[in-house]
Amino acid sequence: MLAEDFEISRLAIPAVSLLISFLAYTSQYFFYNFKAAPLTLDEGWAINVLALCIWVCYFRSCFVDPGRLDPKGKSVVHSQQEKDQSTGRQRWCRRCEAYKPPRAHHCKTCKRCIPRMDHHCPWTANCVSYFTFPHFFRFLFYTVVGMGYLETLLWQRASIIWHERDMPSYLGPSVPQLVHLLLLLVANTVTWLGIFILLIRTVWSMLFNTTTIESWEIERHETLVRRARVLGGFLEGPGGVKIRIRKQEYPYDIGLFSNIVHSMGDSINIFSWFWPFASTPDRRNGWSFETNEFEDPSVTWPPPDPDRIPIPKDSFPVHDPDIPISYASARDQVEAFDRRQAADMDRPRPYSTVQRRKRFHERFQEEPNYESDEERPPGPVYSNDPDEGEESWRNAEGERLRDFGVDEDVEFYDEDDVPLGLLMEQRRGRQ
């Protein structure tokens, strides 16, 4: 199945390129040979200029690097890491073996965490991210404008044929021309409607500074708030840990104009928003974001989710730093630390393999009513079936996280999953 998906994804760019060529260039061949209303010079220029804009924007949407965390950006991540530590929450990517910056998500196709990832687009075979979103928006914009203009030209010719339908057939277009016109109309109309809807959705995301994934997170949070409201404000995490759930405001909505500016690479040049050759956003940006400060500064996004915690912290014995350990010599102390660090890095951690908790309504209705997950038998609570666990939760449109191209096991279970060796290193740094 994965092999089939991979082969299909490789055909996406050639298929889109073929469609653009068919609509942009064979339509001109039809117009030039349509004697009742041949293509004018202005119409020819308009079609070709719009086609060029589409080609440029599509090429950049496909081949501009969606971003990766370079050494210069680690200081930004480190500052966010300190903020997360102050709240008691830390997001850790097991694939990248690094802290996950705010609004970043691990793409299962690109094999890395993508800054401000919106989704992995199958038609560009690339991630729509902080760096590629402006190119993607311009591609949609010029596609809608270009295909809309072509639509008017096609319907003008089709209306001429309809008004002259009672004329002898030899005075009108040939059968191949009629078939060609029909194919152009069907392909252009269907594609234009689909991309127009996608453009409207993209503009909506720009206005509120959300990504497709964050829209999913907002809806997920609203679901958790409704659940907690019924259960006294708390939901149960693994091991019976009670987590308080309260309504949180989305922090990145900073005003309509500022939202658009940020989405377009933090550029206030309105002309550059629509210029196909506009530069890619600065690579030093994309790892920290302005917030609206409606919430307490210690509050992070996404909000707490009990089902995103892979395993309780107290399931692993960690030495209490308040209890001193005595050693015969400094050498023994160093050797003991080296042994603990090597054992932590080498041993297979239980939380490296995701334990999928069954769906909320199944756990909630279980009988008898156990006080914690540890008291329950493992069967009713955990499952290895990816379609049974809570990570298979879908929003109102029937979408789950993996539908946006993210690595679901990494993305859904990304909290409090920091290796022990790194936690000890942080502790030494604070001391």
By annotation, the residues acting in catalysis are 121
User: What distance in Å separates the CA atoms of residue 162 and residue 150, rounded to the nearest whole number?
Assistant: 18
Output the DSSP codes for 201-243: HHHHHHHHT--HHHHHHHHHHHHHHHHHHHTTTEEE-GGG-EE
Report the SS3 class of residue 330: helix
| Backbone phi, psi, residue 323, to 5° | -100, 110
Q: Which residues contact 190 (CB under 8 A, 6 or more apart)?
A: none
Q: Are strands 126-128 and 119-121 parallel, antiparallel or unpaired?
A: antiparallel
Report yes or no: 222 and 57 within 8 Å, Cβ to Cβ: no
User: Residue 280 corresponds to which amino acid?
Assistant: T
Report the SS3 class of residue 343: helix
User: What distance in Å separates the CA atoms of residue 195 and residue 206, rounded to the nearest whole number?
Assistant: 16
Q: Where are the alpha helices (DSSP H) in 209-352?
A: 212-230, 256-263, 270-273, 330-346
| Backbone phi, psi, residue 120, to 5° | -95, 115
Tokens at 350, concatenated: 């239980």
